[in-house]
Structure 1
Amino acid sequence: MSLLARSNISTAKTFLPRTMLSLAPGHVLQGTRWDYRILEGVKGDDRTHASTIFKAYTRTQKNSAIVLRLTWPSRAIVKAASPNDEIAKENLDRGCRTYGLPGVSSAACFRQLYDVIDNSTIALEWLDTTLAQAKYQPGAKTYVLIDEVLSGRVIAIVGDLGLAFASGDRINVQPFAMRAPEVFLGQACTELAQVWVVGAIPRPLINESWSMAKVKRLFPDWNIPAPGEVKGYSLQDAVESARFFSEEIEELQAILPFETETQKVEMLEQLRDLLRLMLLRSINARRKQERPKGGTCSQRQANGS
Structure 2
Amino acid sequence: MRPRLWRLGPTRVYAPCNRHNVQTRPYPRQLLQKSPLSRVPGYFTDELLPKYMSSSASTRTAPAVEVGRIVPGARWDYRLHQLLEGGMSQSTVFKAEILPRKSDARPARWAAIKMAPNNRASLEALEREYDIYSMHNVASKSCFRDLYDVIGGNLNAGAGIEGLVFEWMDCTLANLSPKKYQRNPVIIKAIVDAVLHGLIALEMGKLISNPTAYCSLVSTLSILLPKWAIWALVRPCNPRQLGTCLQILVLPDGYRGAAQPFAMRAPEVYMGLGCIHRSSIWALAATLFCWVRPGVLGAANSQIPFSNEAWCIVKLRRLFPNWVVPPIEDDVCRCEFELADALIEESTPRVLEVSSLEEELEATPTLPEIKDLLRFMLIIDAQLRPTAAEVLRSKEYLALEKETQK
Q: Percent identity?
A: 25
Partner of residue 82, structure 2? 41
Higher RCO (C-alpha 8 Å, min separation 6): 2
Distance 1:254-1:156 versus aligned 2 partners, 3 A rule: closer
1:195 to 261, 281, 295: 281
Kept after mapping to 2: 8 A contact 1:111/1:124: no
Deviation at 1:95, TM superposition (A): 1.6
1:171–1:188 CA contact under 8 A, matched in 2: yes
| Aligned partner of residue 250 in structure 2, secondary structure | coil
Q: What's the counterpart of residue 175 of structure 1?
A: 261
TM-score scaled by length of structure 1: 0.67
Q: CA deviation at 1:48?
A: 3.2
Contact 2:299 2:311 in 1 (8 A): no
- Residue 113 of structure 1 and its aligned partner are, at CA, apart by 2.1
Tell me which residue corresponds to 2:136: 102
Q: Matched residues in 1 for 2:165 and 2:309: separation?
A: 34
Larger radius of gyration: 1
1:155 lines up with 2:243 in the alignment: yes
Which deviations, in whole Å up to 9, do the C-alpha atoms of 1:13-40 show, x marking residues without a partner?
xxxxxx94565634452x3323x14243
> Which of 299, 303, 324 is 1:204 aligned to?
299
Whether the 8 Å CA contact 2:99–2:106 is kept in 1: the answer is: no
8 A contact 2:146–2:166 mirrored in 1 = yes
Normalising by structure 2, report the TM-score.
Answer: 0.53
The change in CA–CA distance for 1:297 and 1:264 in structure 2 (over 3 A counts) is closer
Cα distance, 1:233–1:40 mapped onto 2, change above 3 Å: same
SS at structure 1 position matched to 2:137: coil
Question: Are 2:123 and 1:83 aligned?
Answer: no
Retained in 1: the 8 A contact 2:255–2:275? Answer: yes
Alpha-carbon offset, residue 104 of structure 1: 1.5
User: Does residue 244 of structure 1 match 2:244?
Assistant: no
Indicate the SS of the match to 1:96. Answer: helix
C-alpha distance after superposition, 1:44-93 (max 9, x if no partner): 13x635222331332226xxxx8xx3566554333322215x55434422
Distance 1:56 1:141, change over 3 A: closer
Question: What is residue 52 of structure 1 aligned with on the other side?
Answer: 92
Question: Would the aligned equivalents of 1:53 and 1:77 in 2 still touch at CA under 8 Å?
Answer: yes
Normalized per residue, which structure has more helix? 2
User: Structure 1 residues 114 and 243 mapped into 2: Cα distance closer, same or farther (>3 Å)?
Assistant: same
CA gap of 1:42–1:182, structure 2 versus 1, over 3 A, is same
Quote the residue 1:14 is aligned against.
none
> Which residue identity is paired with 2:244?
A
Which residue of 309, 325, 332 maps to 1:234?
A: 332
Q: CA RMSD in A?
A: 4.0
2:314 counterpart SS class? helix
Paired residue for 1:10?
Answer: none
Residue matched to 1:164: 250
- Residues 132, 269 of structure 1: CA spacing in aligned structure 2 closer, same or farther, 3 A cutoff? closer
Aligned to 1:256: 355
Partner of 1:218: 319
Residue aligned with 1:283, SS: coil
Matches within 5 A, 1:115-134: 115-118=149-152, 119=160, 121-131=162-172
**Counterparts in 2 of 1:58 and 1:76: CA distance versus 1, 3 Å:** farther
> 1:276 and 1:90, CA in 2 relative to 1: closer, same or farther beyond 3 A?
same
The residue identity in structure 2 corresponding to 1:213 is V
Which amino acid in structure 2 is aligned with residue 57 of structure 1? I
Gaps of 5+ in 1: 1-18
1:80 and 1:120 in contact (8 A); partners too? no
Tell me if the contact between 1:176 and 1:208 (Cα under 8 Å) persists in the aligned partners. yes
Residue identity opposite 2:85 in structure 1: G
Q: Deviations over 1:249-298 (max 9, x none)?
A: 50213333333444444666555544443322223333699869xx9859
More displaced 10-residue stretch of structure 1: 210-219 or 113-122: 113-122
